[in-house]
Structure 1
């Protein structure tokens, strides 16, 4: 069975995006950017909700061709394009860059993908991840906490019907007071 991880940048008050979908507070240091890039390289399949897909696909497919692109950005863009992806959306009509579209029941499709062969899977996007959380499909949480309070926006965690016990796997500090905590779901 494949492992499913929900990994996102997070404000200390629990949001993945500030009001207005503002992500300006989550600009990574070079070290953190490299961690994200290595994560993309190690991901067997990425699952995206529509809004996160729109954000990522509006920049990364051509980021390596932009004037002033750093070697790290060039590397990330290539890794991102090559990484297999599934976008869950009932309104998106076309996807590119090693991506397929899933428009049916997300929980059923994620369950099917988890049961299949292949490397680990990452899930991103608040609505999609919330459905997977409520269904008990998340195996690991990788929370990259930035030292900022944004006061509202898109929450990382959703309301659950039952609690979930977690075991700490890793902590790591990055420049600027950013802290990674990885937790495994105890079953």
Structure 2
């Protein structure tokens, strides 16, 4: 059975995007934080995206390694992003997705459950709406939270509403330049 990991950058008050889907509050990550995210992506066997995060990622990473100021880590991230299999869950996108990506328009929870049951490397899930549905279904095995020292006052929350408590076990705490604190938690079953 594959592990499902939900990880993103978020503000200290718990948002992954400020009002208007603004993610500029996090600024460019430190080299160390970017490398940590790259390592996580390279360990993943499949990335699951909601539509909004897919549109953000696919607007930059297909050619991120061709930018004149791209760092070696950014080049590696872009190359890994293109080659890693991806599933996008959306009822509004057409089925013409590139970069090793397939579209699922049906029941996201049924498909995520099926993918988790397979053998293989961990699954990464991104996008607040998709991840919230997976949380409510009890499918998230690990949370990786890079908390930035900024308050944005509203927007898209990292955690969606839950039907009950979810007990977690702390796996790691790490500090990065700029005051970013990474915490990783495992879901207790």
> Please, what TM-score do these two structures have when normalized by structure 2?
0.97
Query: How many angstroms apart in 1 are the aligned matches of 2:80 and 2:5?
Result: 18
Query: How many angstroms apart in 2 are the aligned matches of 1:183 and 1:15?
Result: 18
- The corresponding residue for 1:25 is 25
RMSD: 0.7
Once the two structures are TM-superposed, the CA of residue 132 in structure 1 deviates from its matched residue by: 0.2
- The corresponding residue for 2:14 is 14
1:54-93 correspondence to structure 2 within 5 Å: 54-93=55-94
Query: How many angstroms apart in 2 are the aligned matches of 1:68 and 1:158?
Result: 36
1:63-142 correspondence to structure 2 within 5 Å: 63-93=64-94, 94-142=96-144
* Secondary structure, counterpart of 2:70 in structure 1: coil
Which range moves more in the overlay, 19-28 or 146-155?
19-28
Whether 1:44 and 2:49 are equivalent positions in the alignment is: no
Cα deviations by residue, 1:7-60 (Å, 9 ceiling, x for unpaired): 000100000001111111222111101111111111011000000000000000
* Secondary structure, counterpart of 2:106 in structure 1: coil
Cα deviations by residue, 1:91-118 (Å, 9 ceiling, x for unpaired): 1112111111111100000000000121
Once the two structures are TM-superposed, the CA of residue 75 in structure 1 deviates from its matched residue by: 1.1
Gaps of 5+ in 2: none
Query: How many angstroms apart in 2 are the aligned matches of 1:184 and 1:3?
Result: 10
Q: Alignment length, in residue pairs?
A: 187
Q: 2:160 aligns with which of 155, 158, 161?
A: 158
Gaps of 5+ in 1: none
